[in-house]
Structure 1
Amino acid sequence: MRRRRFITASAAATVALALDIDETPMTGRLSMSDITHARERIDRLDAHFSAIGGESLLAVATAYLDRLTTAADHCTYGPRVEQAFHTAIAVLCSSAGWAADDAGNLDAAHQWRTTALQRAILGAGHRAQARAWSDLATHARRGGHHREALRISQTALASRGARQDPRYAALLQSRLAIGHARTGDHPAAARALLAAQTAHDRINPTEPAPRWLNFLTAAEISGLAAITQQAMGHLAYAETATTQALTFLEPGLRRSHAYYSVQLTELKIAQGNTAGARTTVAAIDTTKVSSQNSTGRLATVRRTLATA
């Protein structure tokens, strides 16, 4: 445990240095180039989150948010810069929400996600609004409020960001499918899964994705489909889809590898395949993963296997 904390703390220090937080102007007049630099720093933070998780990055994200909100209060800027500034802060609040989620602080995660939506609305950032709605749906689902999660997902899909970008549509339809499955509407879940795959197929691979969405590959679509299948009680299908996700995942996405490896172990246990579960769990390495969500679930499956 001490080794994992050392590694993630070192990662946070590296990110803080790379972000150059102290270079953000605190006085004077801001221009669009200042917003561009801020977005580049936020992109670097999101890249580290995708790689290792967000628990160790929460302090970095919140410190940078303090810096940006102080700059917003003390600097001058025109209407165009103001809107872009709100949108950049919204994106960073969404990142902080996931970092808090990985740290196990769901109250803080909800606060940051709500603030992200408010800032995105102020900035008229349609994609930032879609992301914030999507994150709030995930938060509701984590709290067991499945009908609320379903309604939020439907609201997110009606946003301009989802209508304009198939990446957002694919993610939101995948999460909508989970919501339908967990509220017992299996036909609607199947339709949402098909819509997610259709949207993903429409993605133009030559168009760069927002950095925070770099995890949304065919592997992630399979992994989210597995969660839907599991919620519908189709455990064999869920296991196949989870295995496919792990096969397609890029090596650098260690957080996702850990998450879906634990999911695969849970599915094997649920089907009575304790031997297969032990083989899977023995290969899981979370020493470079900074997410209590994954490490907590891993500890639970290990305890289950110890008594099986």
Structure 2
Amino acid sequence: MVPASFWEHEPVRRALAERHLGRVVRAYRFHPYHGRAALPQTVVAGWLGITQAQLSRVENGPPLVHLDRLTHWAQLLRIPPRFLWFSLPARLTKNAEHDPVPVKEAGPAETPARTDANLAASTQGGGTTDRRQFHALAALAGIAATGSLDLLAAPHNTVRAIGMEQVRAVGSLVDEFRRTDAAVGANRLCGLAIRVHAQLSEWAAKATSSRDVGEALQVTLADLAIETAWLTIDANRRPEARAYLNEAITRARFTDDPRMEVRAFACLALLTCRNRPGEALHAAEAALRSSAGWGTPRLVTLPHLRTARTYATLNDMSGFHRAMSRAQREFERGAREDDMPFLHFVTAQEIKGIEGLAYLALGRPERAADAFRTITENPSRALRRNHIYYSVQLADAACRQGNLDEAAWTAMNLLPELGQVSSGRVSLHLAQLRSSLGQPQRATAATRQFVEAYDQAVHA
């Protein structure tokens, strides 16, 4: 779901005034809301059920005139009816005019309890009340922009024959999980993703489909499993992640899809880096083998980053430098239009972040702090959670250097953000920092102020 102001952006307004839906799609892709990089044509083409080449012709060719395609695409993009030059069917108009509220309207303290209650209700039946509860839950989590919610609200009424439309709906739901997670963190999404994964897996096992649709569904469910695994990691529920990654690798191999295999192995390397570094190296190497010969630079960058961080965990400085150099070389080859959507976080800032984490593991807090400052001085709106995570790491690095006041002020400036971004990893690191700065021998005016502010924020 995009904010209401999205449609007031001048290029979007101009395209709508020209009554050219192809230009609307292009303006949608290049909107600043999505960050510095435009949404790739391949991604949006997948939403619309066409090829990248077809979308290119639509964007640059004559206006579409077929009403069925106009209405279907307007619904997929959630264009408010008041901006359209054609009428939507009454059912679609009603849905478009009653979009669920954005996540920021939900208070951070009440969200988990209300979410769990609604989840319990939504999985116990399929009536009208359950559907309303599920939509309310999705609104709290920020997952409401896709048509897939109708599949989830009433499991015993879902279709028994799966078509490509249902597969695309599930894929759009995964994209919304990904986008919302980057903005608000995993705590609000993790429980929802786990239940959605279980429900869709059961539905897919019982329903029938053609061979092509079945393979596409396997790939989409692999993507959902990896996203669920990542959410458990960020929510600090790491033991739950491995089963989802094992499932994703199996589904990827069923369909001979190396893209999902690379992503699953890269996530497995992240999961095991700290406690099983040998396994993490094997997982990263498996990701590199799977990407050999076809992987885009951004995709290949990721397992090299995982390798670099693991070498640092093993206190292997030379191995860390080799892997970081390879990651940097791949990254400098640039982004590609066919990059997978989940790679949106592989940025120059992320490379600096991994470098900082590696230097912390290598016992070089001064080098780590320099890397983290590069990130905090150039915050990303689209990757808010990552910015906060690395800001906490900066406070940790400063604390290890003995710069207690810098550590306290850096951490204290983050406390207001926690009302909007909830990440178990961030919460854990902040709690550890509070424990460290709260020691009597480290008491300064700044550390005492941080400890007091932190305790008030946690117990409010």
TM-score, normalised to structure 1, is: 0.91
Q: What does residue 173 of structure 1 align with?
A: 304
Q: Which moved more, 1:81-90 or 1:8-17?
A: 8-17
Q: What does residue 214 of structure 1 align with?
A: 344
For 2:160 and 2:242, how far apart are their aligned partners in 1?
33
- Residues 19-72 of structure 1: per-residue CA shift (max 9 Å, x gap): 442236833432333222221111011100111111211222123223322332
Percent of aligned pairs with the same amino acid: 27
For 1:130 and 1:162, how far apart are their aligned partners in 2?
13
For 1:287 and 1:252, how far apart are their aligned partners in 2?
17
Residues 1:188 and 1:133: Cα distance change in structure 2 (over 3 Å):
same
Which residue, 239, 253, 260 being the options, matches 2:390? Answer: 260
Which residue, 319, 325, 328 being the options, matches 1:194? Answer: 325
Q: Which moved more, 1:14-23 or 1:92-101?
A: 14-23
Q: What does residue 241 of structure 2 align with?
A: 109
Question: How far 1:100 sits from its partner (Å)?
Answer: 1.6
2:284 counterpart of 1:157: no
Consecutive unaligned residues of structure 2, counting only runs of 5 or more, are 1-105, 116-135, 443-460
Q: What does residue 26 of structure 1 align with?
A: 158
Residues 1:264 and 1:60: Cα distance change in structure 2 (over 3 Å):
same
| 2:235 and 2:424 in contact (8 A); partners too | yes
Question: How far 1:179 sits from its partner (Å)?
Answer: 1.0
Which residue, 207, 214, 218 being the options, matches 1:82? Answer: 214
Partner of 1:97, secondary structure, is: helix
- Residues 198-220 of structure 1: per-residue CA shift (max 9 Å, x gap): 11111235x16433222221111
For 1:12 and 1:255, how far apart are their aligned partners in 2?
21
Aligned pairs for 1:69-148 within 5 A: 69-142=201-274, 144-148=275-279
Question: How far 1:254 sits from its partner (Å)?
Answer: 2.1
2:304 counterpart of 1:182: no
- Residues 265-287 of structure 1: per-residue CA shift (max 9 Å, x gap): 11001111101111111111322
For 1:86 and 1:162, how far apart are their aligned partners in 2?
24
For 1:256 and 1:161, how far apart are their aligned partners in 2?
28
- Residues 251-300 of structure 1: per-residue CA shift (max 9 Å, x gap): 23221122101100110011111011111111113221221111111011
For 1:176 and 1:32, how far apart are their aligned partners in 2?
37
For 1:5 and 1:162, how far apart are their aligned partners in 2?
48
> What is the aligned length?
305
Q: What does residue 271 of structure 1 align with?
A: 401
Larger-gyration structure (1/2) = 2
Residues 1:210 and 1:185: Cα distance change in structure 2 (over 3 Å):
same
Consecutive unaligned residues of structure 1, counting only runs of 5 or more, are none
Which residue, 105, 108, 114 being the options, matches 1:4? Answer: 108
Q: What does residue 228 of structure 1 align with?
A: 358
For 2:255 and 2:377, how far apart are their aligned partners in 1?
39
TM-score, normalised to structure 2, is: 0.62
Q: What does residue 424 of structure 2 align with?
A: 292
For 2:397 and 2:320, how far apart are their aligned partners in 1?
19
For 2:109 and 2:246, how far apart are their aligned partners in 1?
29
| CA root-mean-square deviation | 2.3
| 2:186 and 2:424 in contact (8 A); partners too | no
